[in-house]
Amino acid sequence: MRELHHWVHGEPRAGGTPLTVYGPFDRSALTVVPLAGAEVVAAAVESARAAFAGWRQWSPADRGRLLVELSRRMRERSGAFVDAEVAETGKLAAEMRGLLGVSADYFEYYGGVVRALFGETIALGPDDHAFTTREPFGPVGMITPWNGPLSQASRGIAAAVAAGNTVVIKPSEFTPSTTLMLARLASEVGFPPGVVNVVLGDGPGAGAALAGHPGVRLVAFTGSVATGRSIARAAADRLVPAILELGGKSPNIVFEDADLDAACASALTVCVGAGQQCAALSRLIVQSSVYDSFVERVGERMAERVPGPRLAPMTTEAQYEKVLTYFDIAQRDGARLVTGGGTPGGDLAAGRYVQPTVYADVTPGMRIFREEIFGPVLAVSRFADEDEAVALANDSEYGLVASVWTGDSARALRVASRLEAGQVTVNGGRTGIETPFGGYKSSGLGREKGFESLYHYTQVKTTVVSTRR
């Protein structure tokens, strides 16, 4: 069992009430995490404030070179990152190796594109020359969730520091190790002390202190809608901007003329990370003419995702209990169980495993249609025509991502344009670190990923120079 420490101004720092964290595979003790109070948070913010004065003066090219070097070193140490995150989150090793590559890609990408972060010139006439510049905010308070600690930290830190901000990041107290490893590695490759700080702690303690600290000039949060509202209120009280990437209950629409094999494979992506991903396509909306056969096919394929070898456990005890609760809710609401709906026995009973699960004949009045379960649970509904498909898809407080499957290209674009979601894929269109990500409605504010993210981590200054004699 390892004892962790905060990372403030380029060195470890003790302080806080110890919390023992238990792993997802067999619930054995993994780490002791100090839960920071306001004093540690204040020290980290002061470190970020002091470092900002110098860091913002670095040229984009020089900052970019450091980011690219950090990306290279992450790949060199990929095994250590993968092992640490698998132990804490329970992710399948193959999934985590892919996420390690994505995490390193963020630093490589922003290390290059930050050189293209330009302002504009504005024509006011021959005697007044106006131009805009994009400038960093200062210390950014960043709060990341337990389901993807390294990729979430990399996504935010890379864009924020590339733009010239400094960062104080609070990872989840349940999965903090890879964020600490990243901060240490940043110091090793030459990031000045205070540019990347890590405080450990829970939401009510360290998280609230960070979001409410007067020295934090922007708050970036990924997590639940309820906590996102609290973060937004804290930011609004101080009139600072907030980037909020919140929950999802994302629709996956399958028309009768779709490539049904490919659409079936997309339905199974709800098992990636054991369904513990905000962008999970957890609502499957299928046209009536192919509904019965498609549900049967998906059910058969889901049953093959054996917990352990092909399906990760739930990361936290609370999430494990939540998913089990939804099995009871679905039964009471009258959803038809196709496969799963329970927990495996044998050796896996010691861990936080649940069965991959499909419920059919789900209607909008059922809670599993509306509420984010955050597990490998698929809710399947039927539709008759295009209008009903769009109505079902948009019948949600969320609007993070959506997916459309059809052989009719005109319908594909027509439906995509009508969906209330921040990101829509058609026929398996591949997204990447270059594609902006964020939600409509209760799924959040602002955008992460892509060049767009640099706009959200900077503010615009207008300068007007007179040349009159």
**Residues known to be catalytic:** 245, 278
DSSP letter for each residue of 181-214 = HHHHHHHHHTPPTTSEEE----IIIIIHHHHH-T
Cα–Cα distance measured from residue 285 to residue 382, given in angstroms and rounded to the nearest whole number: 6
147: helix, strand or coil: coil
Beta bridge partners of 297: none
Residues with Cβ within 8 Å of residue 79, at least 6 apart in sequence: none
- Helix (H) / strand (E) containing 433: none
- Size of the chain in residues: 469
Return the closest-CA partner of residue 196 out of 6, 14, 68. 6
Kindly tell me the sign of the dihedral angle through the C-alpha atoms of 135, 141, 145, 151: positive
**Burial class of 327 by CB neighbour count within 10 A (0 to 12, 13 to 18, 19+):** buried
Cα–Cα distance measured from residue 89 to residue 98, given in angstroms and rounded to the nearest whole number: 15
Pairing of the two strands 29-35 and 139-143: unpaired
Return the closest-CA partner of residue 178 out of 288, 59, 77, 289. 77
